[in-house]
Amino acid sequence: MLDVTLPDDAVDRVRAFNRLYTKRIGVLAETLLGSPFSLTEARILYEIAAAPGTTAKAIGTALGLDAGYLSRLLARFVRDGLVEAVRSDADGRSRELRLTAAGQDAYSRLENDSRRSVAGLLDGLQDEDRAAFLAATEDMARSLGAPLSPPMPIAIRRHRPGDLGWIVERHGTVYAREYGFDGRFEALVADIVAAFLRENDPARETCLIAERDGRRLGSVMVVRADDETAKLRLLLVEPEARGEGLGRRLLGESMAFAREAGYRKMVLWTNDVLVTARRLYEAAGFRCVEAAEHTDFGPRLIGETWTRTL
């Protein structure tokens, strides 16, 4: 049954993308890329090439194919000399599938043609559009529960043009969604960012951005409170990067910067609803020294000042 809570155009937008992409990559023809194989047959050859010794059952599970249909395709591959089926030593009832020399040659030609086709698609995009396209493929796969590749390490770097606008947008979005903060919080973040851009002393202040494969995943700032005191501001970890120790890394990098810059103490201001962040600060040696109730961002909150020596 169709989920009536979906936006009216959600299904149409996905279907429109499917029509566009399948046409663009050439899978609507009777055979794939001028080869003798349909898209389904090519996928079966790929599964065998990627995992020599695989079984019909494993391929059927991976591709969601009907067992009888798959059996007929595999039988034809065997008759055509592309695939060999050998009785498994571990289970005599099962047949292990491998490409023959002819099958490997056919698969290699198909693989090369496929790579050239996709390379041509990507080559027609500007650098920024190509990066956005590739990031979108990862986002779609991740949303469907099947990331395309193991996550790359998260790098932490100094801010660049465009990063601080992202900080304002993400703080406004994340805190509204997770804590119900209103627009006044986003305005506060914008004020902090604007002051940093106008008055930043790179020797004593910094803004750090965490990113993976060009995708921003977190931020933090260290700014001057006074000659001996650094202030930690705008620590954020995107939901998709939580649980990887990124908040701890950003805090550690910030404290290391503050020490090297000559500060003797670090302070920060947070709110009681930020339970995970408060635990992080406590584990790093910060202590809450002041608390006061407020409604500056909509909900009733307790604002807290935390500090520690460096």
pLDDT of residue 98: 92
Tell me: pLDDT of 91 over 70.
Answer: no
221 touches 196 (CB < 8 A)? yes
DSSP 54: B
**Nearest-angstrom CA–CA distance, 295 and 271:** 11
| Domain spans in the chain, listed from the N-terminal domain onward | 10-124, 155-309
Highest mean pLDDT among 58-72, 114-128, 186-200: 186-200
Predicted confidence (pLDDT) per residue in 97-119, tens digit:
999 999 999 989 988 988 888 88
Mean of pLDDT values over 28-38? 77
pLDDT of residue 11: 80
- Domain 155-309 class, CATH top level: alpha beta
Q: Give the pLDDT band (50/70/90) at residue 7.
A: low
Mean of pLDDT values over 296-300? 96
- pTM score, whole prediction: 0.63
Residue 301 pairs in a beta bridge with: 294
> Is the domain defined by 10-124 classed in CATH 1.10.10.10?
yes
Mean of pLDDT values over 56-78? 91
pLDDT of residue 149: 65
Tell me: pLDDT of 1 over 50.
Answer: no
Work out the burial of residue 35: count CB atoms within 10 Å of its CB; fewer than 13 is exposed, 13-18 middle, 19 or more buried. Answer: middle
Q: What amino acid is encoded at 300 in this protein?
A: R
**Nearest-angstrom CA–CA distance, 46 and 40:** 10
